[in-house]
Amino acid sequence: MKPDSTTIIKRYDRLAPYFDGMEAILEGLVFSRWRKRLWVKVKGEHILEVGVGTGKNFRYYPPNVRVIALDFSQKMLARAQQQQVRKNINVHLDLMDVEQLYYADNSFDTVVATFVFCSVPAPRKGLRELYRVCKPGGQVILLEHVLSANPLLAGIMRLLNPLVLAAVGANINRQTLKNVQACGFNQVLVDVHSGDIIKLIQAYK
């Protein structure tokens, strides 16, 4: 049986004190440059970050914009709030599940999620919510790790997925690009520097 949101939340609450340390090497070697590349693409004044986690994207927020950031884990959000206070980041934090956003339709110029949809139990439901709250002509930008296109590596990832999911609540076999393409966006682009497993996806409403 696939874990529901409550189960995933409990796992992230449990991991929150250790999360930054667990990802420190990958963050330094890989993730940080991709985050920087993503935030250069952000446009508009009203920005939503989904799955803010511990606030790893705060340092890349553009100036003079209104950012609302959310997470479904109270303890991850508490870590983000500590970062917000320590670094004086202009952001409003909300406790919320991406599968059920409370924002009005057509609210945001850009919606951002980084390494989030590996953990969303119903990813297309969450993506449709991003589409709904994005303004017409706006964009949803995702940075995600996805299932490899290499059949051998994909088979290994599928084999390991139950173990990774049980340990940290993340799926390593998601086909996020296909999920985005199925959610009604007018245009879906993949950054030319994207690799086999890490994809930077821009979807325009």
> Do 75 and 13 meet the contact criterion of CB atoms below 8 Å apart?
yes
Tell me which residue of 114, 58, 62 sits closest to 83, measured CA to CA. Answer: 58
Q: What is the CATH number of the domain that holds 185?
A: 3.40.50.150
Distance between CA 15 and CA 9 in Å, rounded? Answer: 10
Q: pLDDT digits over 104-144, tens only?
A: 999 999 999 999 999 999 999 999 999 999 999 999 999 99
In this predicted structure, the answer to whether residue 187 has a pLDDT above a threshold of 90 is yes
Angstrom distance (rounded) from CA 198 to CA 175: 11
Residues 6+ positions from 165 with CB-CB distance below 8 Å? 3, 171
Would you say residue 16 has pLDDT above 90? Answer: no
Q: State the sign of the Cα–Cα–Cα–Cα dihedral 120, 125, 126, 127.
A: positive
> How would you label 48-74 residue by residue, b for 16+ Cβ within 10 Å and e otherwise?
bbbbbbbbbbbebbeeebebbbbbbbe
Number of domains in the chain: 1
- Specify the pLDDT at position 23: 81
**Rounded distance, CA 199 to CA 135, Å?**
23
Domain interval for residue 42: 5-204
Name the pTM for this structure: 0.94
- At residue 168 the predicted structure's pLDDT band, cuts being 50, 70 and 90, is confident
How large is the average pLDDT for residues 31-56?
95
Residue 167's pLDDT band, with cuts at 50, 70 and 90, is confident
Average pLDDT, the chain: 93
